[in-house]
Structures are given as structure tokens and as C-alpha cells.
Amino acid sequence: MLRFQALISEHTEEHGKTLPDAAGEVGRGCQVEGYPDSNFVGRSCFEKRPGGPIDRVLAPHLYYSGTAALGVASHASCPGTAGLRQRVSPGVDRARRLEASSTDPATTTITITTRQEVESMLNQTRTIPRVRTLCTAVCLALGLGVTTSASAEDPVRIGAIYIMSGSPSVYGQFAQQGMQLAVDEINEEGGILGHEVEFVLEDSQIKADAAIQAARKLVYSEQVHGLMGLDSSGVATGVVPVVPELQRPFIITHAATPDVTGKLCNRYTYRLSVNISQNTKAAAEIAEQSGAKRWTTIGPDYAFGHQSWEFFGNYLKELDPEVELMERTAFPRFGNEDFTPFINNVMDAKPDGVLVSLWGGDLVNFIRQANNLGFFDRDFEVLMTLGGATEVMSALGNDVPEGIWVGTRYWFAAHDNDVNNAFVTAYMERYGKPPSYNAEGAYAGIYAYKAAIEKAGSTDPEAITDALSGLTFPAPTGSLTFREGDHQAVVGPTWGQTAALSEEYGVRMLDPMKTFDGDLVTPDVSETGCSL
Amino acid sequence: MQSFIAALLNSLDIALLLFVIAVGLNIIFGVLNVINFAHGALYMLGAYFAYTAMGLLGLSFWVALVVAPLLVAVVAIAIERLMLRMVYDRHITDSLLLTFALLLIIDESVRMIWGPSIHVVDPPALLTGTFSVFGVNYPIYGLFVIAVGIAMMLGLWLLFTRTRLGRIVRAAALDREMAQTLGINVPMVITGVFAFGAWIAAVGGVVAAPMRAIGPAMGEKIIIESFIVVVIGGLGSFPGTLLGALVLGFIHGFGGRFLPEINLVLPYIGMALVLLIKPQGLMGKRASA
Amino acid sequence: MTTRLMIVGVLALVLAALILLPYGVPYFYIFVATEILIMGLFAASFNLVFGYTGMLSFGHAAFFGMGSYTTAMLLLHLQVPLVWTLLAAMLTSMLLAAVIGFFCVRLNEVYFAMLTLAFGMMVFAVAHQWRSVTNGSDGITGFPLTEFGLGLDLQLANPLVYYYVVLVVVVLAAALLYLVTRSPFGLILKAISENPERVSFCGLNERRFRLIAFIVAGLFAGLAGGLFAPFNRVASPDMIHWSQSAEAVLMTILGGSAYFLGPFFGAMVFVLLETWITSYTDHWMLFLGIILALMVMFFRRGILGTVLDRLLRR
């Protein structure tokens, strides 16, 4: 097969197989390439740093090229595309479906030689409104005959920061899958305002400083339009004060500290996931109904663990002033290995109820060691605020004790609506496991951006930021709204009692199960300490 | 009383697991004069091999306990032959840096091969469940860990004092050149000792697998703990390692239970105190430095 | 003499390049360059103990962290001008280094490495558990960046301005540190690293010199930390953790411990590699491990060291 490419740039005019490597040329560009005997074109965007060759592929994607005879992009030749195969594959499927409509491939010729010509040609077509000035330094395209729908325009780029290393990195993995699914769905449907969507993922390392650096890299180096992610409250409290400097909207999809939509709130920061006050208010209701009077906690020794206990205590006292919040609590270090002393400590205290706010690998360790020590056989209620994470539930399978209350920001079987049904089905089909709350948060985050950009009618970050305020959009948990007062989504957690293991999903199901109404568990804006 | 007994048992099982890991570190130091930063990574490798054997291949725990450490020993032989050998005649910091590089390589490889998720394996049926002493329920598996620690201790003691092999190793540790002149194949002994140390670490990894979550970060935590054990007990001292492990085990078992506010600082305070009062460790030989 | 001229010329070129840098690179690289300068100072201060005095410290991040926390807390609670917080950072970390050093310099080699590790982790544990003061593992965040002080009207929140502030401070600090290494005191340190017994036999109190080196190194590490907190907008226990100390070790090895600029060069290679490699893969640590192993096995004198060895021998 003959593969041909043409390079169009403002300064140079080159034809050939190689990508430009002239020193001094810096910028980002897109390349369209194909094969003469099929009618598909692949488009890849590249970034070029000073003095070096093309650095990386930002968005391989496939287009059907209309009447022109072009082919599937060869991604094997592009560095860094190995991990992006998933993104390409749906396009390939479409390519196969459309193959029959191919017209005579022999007529294809390279006709474009200058950027102006590409632009003018692109401008003739409906789907490619413009070539952004940022993209002008290097622009690669392939001649597409007379009419074309291939584009050299910039995609909507969303920067995501999740935990991708260390023991909690399974949460990042779920988030990545959720985003991937959303991005593929949106692109399949024609993108956002005709723009293709893509995400760039960075590792937060569960450290605030690493996350801040990642955010700067995403904004200044990757030129993203918006940011999302953050898994830990500790990281979020560090990142959020810096967000206004970056001048990009930031949708938090996991971190739960009330502060980021409370005293630290700012114009750019939004959160679509359930926060601590929402979750612990629900927990307090469950706790109150259980009738247990003396409560203690085991939680990670950082803001999240301490705030969970504080908020839970306050809400529970409101509901039932009789309850006793015990002095004797246990806060093992995040990432602790041996919880036995802490478990013994709590069992010795002989409480009526225990609030467990551990998560991730800690929770896995804790549950197994607690099983061994007979913790769950004791005569007290156990509430796990994040026990309903499928990351944990599927790692443990049957080791999750039956009949304890677990909370989660989202439970895949709790929402019977079209969005959720489609999401769960697609997720199961693609990844073979039910989506976790983090996968759902990431998936909804992308859709939140879609809704905001469509509302704003622009990809300008400031316009997106404004559009997010008060935005209502469909999410798997139902229709979500970012409150104008504090930018917190009005959403409630799902709590349920662990029941039998499901063969289909590989996790224990929840029964009984209760999804709390966001309106009822979300504190009033005036209570959050946020003033926008 | 009950809580005291629970904390005591807990301390013992932490201590003996730590002993198993730290003693390998200490044997390697004694003979090779190398502080093996990658020791925790080898322990983790043992746990991951056990997970592969049990969780993926469906073999029994006992098979894993035999096979996984042997595989880790093979890895260790490659490491010693290809890398460590190059730095023996240099300053001790070079081997420390090289094994630190190994720690990064092994940690990250594990994450690439097995993924970032947390894995768990079940204890064998024989050791599942709890027993009760003085009204305290304690997992039987905890007892098993204690038993493995004691068995390892006795085995090593017999090996080093009662066998010809043990004497050869001690000779090589004491004076390499002299041992070489006496016809001992010292390079072979060194490879063997490193592999043996790694084998012990991996036994620790397999034993720990059913009670700890198997994740990519498990090696890093244990290595610092092992350092503390070895320093408290004394570098190169075998009974010292046991003492150090017990001290640290008790700090964790009782500190976590009774002094949760400062339990993180306690091990380091212990280590610093020992180093100041008796730099060679509680049971260490007179240090060369 | 010609070599010296050449070195001065090269240094002048490097300095000119650093001054002009923001005008020649994409905006993001201003952050990268700022980080390189700060980490370079941190690594260079570590090298005073490691390369010059021959003590491998695994607790050097304690001083870096002390500097960060001092700056962050002063900015958060008192909104002191930056220049004073930097001085305070140097002071507090110097005091910490004096206390830790008092104990550590009694020991040698492995014991020294272990004891510094223990003390470093002790400081880490304190920062981690003393929640009422240090805010626990979340660290100090959200502090405002006020004025620089000295009557200078500088918008510190502007990354470009902050880059120049860091550049000036780091260049001054590096010059000072260099003078220390070239002073009679610095020569004694070198002698200690080569043969401590010999130094003792000459009637010098070897332990006292090592203590002073440790304190000076702590002071400059504190300054680096003091610059880092406002750059990164957070002071967290991670900055004290032994893995942060290990980064200083890595940078020094990468660049080469035998030359004064080795750690700076190593910091540049380290940060650039980290920036680039993490764009392609999550497995940056794997590359780092392989690079470090190769360096230790084959290029023990570091990249800059190996290159300069070749050049200067000719």
C-alpha cells in the first residue's frame, strides 16, 4: 500500500513521509494520513517541542473521508500510541461498516500544498470551522480530493488528574475507563459542537504538590480547555486554591472534603461527586435508625477521616441528642498495613456502632484483618462510608461481610434511568466489571463538560466556567445540577446492606438499598462557608 | 487484661514476620557488606508470585510457599551476578544506591506486570478461623506466622552453627581473602548467600500474603521497618535481629493500641536512641566505624 | 588559566541563557525551570555532606521540609514578606540541622545513613501526626503570596516573576555555597571524605567539621524548601519523606558528585526526564531505576562529571 502524506506549514512546504524535525519549529499540529485503496482517513495530532522531532500523538482518531479514497491511519508508526488502541478501535469498526460505499480509489491525488489551501478547503466543509492559530505552526494534512470531511481543527481537550500509582491506583484505573467510555461515545455521536473530545491523564501520586504540577502541565503544556479529577481530600485542598491562577474550570469527581465547595470555593471549582457532608448526613440517618447509641470510628489519619467523624457526629447529634460520641477513636495512618491494634482498640471500647471511613487498599486490609479478629461478628453496627466502592468489593468478593451498611457515591444498580442503564451495559461489555463510583464520576465529568460547552456555545475556558454554574445535565445518578452558590452538585449517596454475591458482577449486591435525595442531604449554601 | 493479651499476640506476630524479613537483610549485610534496599521489593515479589500461584493458577498455599521463594532466589542470583558484583570493591554507598535502583525497577515492573490493583489470597483452610485464649479471639493464621518465625530462627541457628556450610559462610563473612586462600569458592558463596537472603524475604512475602493486601507499595514500607529492626538489633547480629524485631513488634502492637497519637514516631525514636547509646546495636559486635 | 577563563565563559553563557530562558521556551517550561533551580540548590546542599564530606545522608529532606513549613506557616498566619520567610526558613532548618547533626556526626557510613534516615522520618512523623500545628498529612495549603519585601514591587503569583526571584536567590546561594567549598574549611571537608583518621591525626576535630558541614547543608536545604513551598503552594509531609531525600541523592549521582555544578545538572536531567517520560508512560520510576543502576555501575562520576573529566583531562 502506498502511504502518502503532505506537510503544510506556514513556513515550509514539504512532501514526504517524515514529519518535520526542523529546529526551532514549535507547536502542535494534526496530520491526516491514509491509504489510497480505502476511503478512510486517520487523523493524529502531534506536539512538537523545540529542536526535537514530533513528540507525541495527542489524538489519533479515524474519520470517514466522504468521497475521497483514503485509509486507516497507521498508528503503529506513531510513538506513544500503543496505549491509545482502545480509542481507535471504535473508529476501525465504523470503517469496516462503511467500506462498501467506497468510490473509485484510483482518482485520489494529493492536491493540497499550502496551509491557505487547506484552510480554504476546510472552510468549505461544514464540520471544520477553523484552524486555530495555535495550530498553525505545523499542520499536516493529506489531499482529500475535492470534498472532504476530515478536519485539522483542534479537539476539545480535557485534562484529568487521578491517582495512577501506588496502592490506590486502581481508583485511577476505573476513572480512566469511565472517561474513555464517555469520550468514545461522544466522538461516535459527532463530538461536542463538532469538535472531537479527548482527555489527557496525569498522575496525582496522591500528593498535593504533584497534582498542582500536573495541573500546570495540563494547562500550559497540554493546552487543555478544562480540568477534572482528584481522588483525595488532602490533594484537593492543596489544588483548589491554585485553580483560579490557571483560569480553567475544574470539576472534582471524587475528593470529598466539604472545604473545596465550602471555605475554599472559587469561581472555577465545581464538584459533581458526593461530599463528606452529604455522605455523613445520610450515614447519620442510617445510624439513627439502627438505634445504636455509643459510636466510635476508624478512619484514615488525614482530613478525610477526621472530617468524616466530625460531620457524622454533628449530624447524628442533631437527629438524636442522646447519642454518645466516644473519645476512644482510631485513626491509623493512610497506607497502614497492620490494623490489628486499631481493631482491637475499637473492640475493647465496646461501642454500639462503628463508623469506618477507610478506603482503598486500607479498607481491603482492614476488612480482611477485621474478619480474622471476628470484628463483624460482634454486637455492634458497622457503617462503612466508602465500603460500596466496587474497587474494594470486587477485590474482596466473598470476604466482604454480609449484612453491614456500606455507603457509596454511586451504586451501579441503584439508578433505573436510561443514562445509567446504557452506562452500566456499555461498561460491563467493555471492561467486564461493573462501574465503580470513581468510574461514574469520571464518566459524568466528561458529560458535564459536554453540556457546559454546548450551553456556552464555545470552548473558551472562561465561557465554560460560567456555563457550569447552575448547569443541569444528565448523569448516571440522574439529572445533576451544580448549585450556583457553592458549585456543589446536589446529589446524594447510596447506602445499602451487603447481601449475596452476584455471579454476574463479581461483587456483593446491596439489599436493602437506599439512595438519598440530594436535596435532603445537601446542606444549605449558607452553611458551607462559601461565598461566591 | 484481654486487651493486653491481644496486643501481646499481635506484637508477636508482627515481630516474627519482621524477623523473617530482616534476618535475610542482615545475613546479606553480614556476608556481602551490602545494605540491600531492594530487600523489601524481593519480599513483595514473593507475595506476588504467591498470588500468581494461588489466585491465578489455583495452586495450594503450600505449593506457593515452596515455589515462590525459589523463583525469587533465581531472580536474586541474576541480580547478584549481573549487577551487585560490579560494586563490591567500591564504597558501601554504591551498593546502597544500586540496590535502591533495583527497588525502583522491581516495584515498577511489578506494577506493569500485575497491574496497580490490590490483590488478596486466602489462607489455607487448615489455618482459617480464630482461636481463643483468656477470652481473646485471635486468628489461627497469626499463630502460624509466629510458628514460621520460630522455625526460621531455629533453622538458621542450626545452619550457621552446626553445619559445614554454615561455617563456610561465616568464614567468608569474617575474612574473604583468607577464606579464598583456604580453598573456599567465595564468589559462589556470595551468590548463594544473596539468593538465600532473597529466599528468606520471599518466604516472608508468601506468609504475609494471606493477611496483608498484595499491592505495589508493600515492599517500601517493610524495608524501612526492616532497617529499623536491623539497626536496633545490630548489623550483622543474628540474635540482635530477633531482639530488634521484638522491640519493633511491641512498639507497633502496643503503641498502635495504647499510644495511637504518637505511634508513628515511636519506632524512629527507638532506633535513634539505640544508635546513640550503642551505635553497633543492642546485640551488635563492636562496629568497625 | 585558559581553562579557568573557559569555565567563566561557560558560566556566563549559562547565566545569560537562564535569564533569557522565559523568552525562548513555551510558557510551561518556566515552571520546569523554576523547579530545576530549586531542586538543584537542594541537591547541591546535600552534596556538601555527600560529595565533599563523604557522608551519605538519607534524611536531608527534613531540612527541605522544615524550610517549606516555615515559609508556608509564616505566609499563612502572618503574611510576612517572602524575603523574611526565606531567612526564617534558613534559620529554622539550620537549628534543626544542628540538633540532628549533633547526634548523627558521631557515626560513620552505614550508621550515619541509617541515623539520618531515622531522624528524617521522625520529623516526617511529627509533621504527619501533629495535626493541630502542621495540619497532618494534608499539609499547609492555601496560603497567600504577598509581597517580596525590601520595597520591591513584585507580583509573586506571576510564575515569570517568581522564576526570576528564584533565579536570583539560587544563584546567590550557589555562589555562597561554592565559596564555602573553596575555602580552607571546604578543603578540610574534602580531606575528611578522603581520610578521616588522617584529619584527626593532624589535630583537627573531625567531628566538629562534619557537624558544621551538616549545619550549612541544612541551612541551604531549608532555603530551597522555603522557595519550594510558595512555588508549589503547599508544604506537605511528602517533602520530608525519605523518598524526597532519595531524590537529592539521585540528582547528585545523575549529575556527578565530584563537581560543584553536578547536582544542578543532575536536577535538570531529573526534572526534564520526569516531565517528558511521564507524558508517555506512568512507569517513569522504571526508567529512573534503570538510569540510576547504569549510572552507578558504569558512570559513577555522573553525566556532568564524566563529560568534564574528559574535557579537563585533555
**pLDDT tens sequence across A462-485:** 999 999 999 999 999 988 999 988
**Which of A294-303, B251-260, C239-248 is the least confident region?**
B251-260
Angle at A484 between CA A478 and CA A487, to 5 degrees: 70
Q: Which of C29, C131, C232 to mutate to test the interface with A (most CBs of A within 10 A)?
A: C232
Angle at A426 between CA A421 and CA A428, to 5 degrees: 95
Q: How many of the other CB atoms lie within 10 Å of CB of A260?
A: 29
Residues of chain A with C-beta less than 8 angstroms from the C-beta of C126: none
pLDDT at C292 over 70: yes
Contact: C286, B235; criterion CB under 8 Å = no
pLDDT score at A34:
41
> What are the beta bridge partners of residue A380?
none
pLDDT tier for residue A3 given thresholds of 50, 70 and 90: very low
The complex's ipTM?
Answer: 0.83
Residues of chain A with C-beta less than 8 angstroms from the C-beta of C26: 26, 49-50, 220-221
Residues of chain C with C-beta less than 8 angstroms from the C-beta of B287: 111
pLDDT score at B187:
85
The mean pLDDT of B9-33, rounded to a whole number, is: 89
pLDDT at A111 over 50: no
Considering CB atoms only, which of B104, B264, B268 is closest to C289? B104
Measuring CA to CA, which residue among A163, B252, B93 is closest to residue C111?
Answer: B93
Residue A321 vs residue A73, higher pLDDT: A321
Residue B24 vs residue A53, higher pLDDT: B24
Residues of chain B with C-beta less than 8 angstroms from the C-beta of C114: 227, 231, 271, 275
Judged by phi (left if over 0) then psi (alpha if -120 to 50, else beta), residue A74 lies in beta
* Cα A58 from Cα A61, distance rounded (Å): 10
The mean pLDDT of B16-32, rounded to a whole number, is: 90
User: A455: part of which helix (H) or strand (E)?
Assistant: helix A437-456
Residue B15 vs residue C199, higher pLDDT: B15
pLDDT in tens, B153-174: 999 989 888 888 888 888 887 7
Gyration radius of chain B's alpha carbons: 19
Residue of C nearest to A213 (CA): C232
Measuring CA to CA, which residue among C65, C218, C219 is closest to residue C139?
Answer: C65
- Grid coordinates in use for C188? 578540610
**Closest Cα in chain A, distance from residue C306 (Å):** 24
**Closest Cα in chain A, distance from residue C182 (Å):** 35
Residue of A nearest to C228 (CA): A209
pLDDT at A373 over 70: yes
Contact: C139, A238; criterion CB under 8 Å = yes
pLDDT in tens, C86-114: 999 999 999 999 999 988 888 777 778 87
pLDDT score at A372:
79
pLDDT tier for residue A126 given thresholds of 50, 70 and 90: very low
pLDDT score at B289:
35
Mean pLDDT of chain C: 88
Residue A104 vs residue A508, higher pLDDT: A508
Residues of chain C with C-beta less than 8 angstroms from the C-beta of B87: 296-297
pLDDT score at B71:
94
**Which of A36-45, A327-336, B106-115, C298-307 is the least confident region?**
A36-45
* Cα C34 from Cα A216, distance rounded (Å): 13
- Range ranked top by mean pLDDT from A24-33, A316-325, C86-95: C86-95
pLDDT score at B204:
94
Q: How many of the other CB atoms lie within 10 Å of CB of C76?
A: 16
* Cα A260 from Cα A242, distance rounded (Å): 12
The mean pLDDT of A248-255, rounded to a whole number, is: 93
pLDDT at C81 over 60: yes
**Closest Cα in chain A, distance from residue B136 (Å):** 9
pLDDT score at B285:
63
CB A208 within 8 Å of CB A231: no
Chain B residues with CB within 8 Å of chain A CB: 2-3, 6-7, 10, 14, 111, 115-120, 122, 130, 137-139, 141-142, 211-213, 215-218, 221-222, 252-257, 260, 264
Residue of C nearest to B227 (CA): C114
pLDDT tier for residue C27 given thresholds of 50, 70 and 90: confident
Share of chain A above pLDDT 70, in %: 71
For chain A positions 329-368, those within 8 Å of chain B (CB to CB) are 330-333, 335, 337-338, 340-342, 344-345, 348, 360-361, 364-365, 368
Measuring CA to CA, which residue among A413, A362, A412 is closest to residue A392?
Answer: A362
Residue of C nearest to B262 (CA): C129
Contact: C296, B94; criterion CB under 8 Å = yes
Give first-to-last CA distance, chain B, whole Å: 45
> What are the beta bridge partners of residue C152?
C149
pLDDT at A30 over 70: no
pLDDT in tens, A379-408: 899 999 998 888 888 888 888 999 899 999
Considering CB atoms only, which of C114, C242, C300 is closest to B231? C114
Mean pLDDT of chain A: 74
pLDDT in tens, A67-76: 222 223 333 3
- Whole-structure pTM value: 0.78
pLDDT score at B115:
79
pLDDT in tens, A154-185: 789 999 999 887 767 788 889 999 999 999 99
pLDDT score at B261:
67
pLDDT score at A133:
25
The label of the residue with cell 504540577 reads A213
CB proximity C111 to A under 8 Å = no
Chain C residues with CB within 8 Å of chain B CB: 56, 103, 106-111, 113-115, 117-119, 121-122, 125-126, 128-129, 242, 246, 249, 253, 283, 285-286, 288-290, 292-293, 296-297, 300
CB-defined contacts B:C, below 8 A: 106
Considering CB atoms only, which of C26, C128, C138 is closest to A221? C26
Considering CB atoms only, which of B2, B212, B252 is closest to A341? B252
Considering CB atoms only, which of B102, B227, B276 is closest to C293? B102
pLDDT score at B51:
92
pLDDT in tens, A336-354: 777 888 888 888 888 999 9
**Sheet hosting strand A197-203, strand order edge to edge:** A197-203, A156-162, A226-229, A250-252, A269-271
pLDDT tier for residue C216 given thresholds of 50, 70 and 90: very high
Residue B226 vs residue A41, higher pLDDT: B226
CB proximity A399 to B under 8 Å = yes
CB proximity A310 to C under 8 Å = no
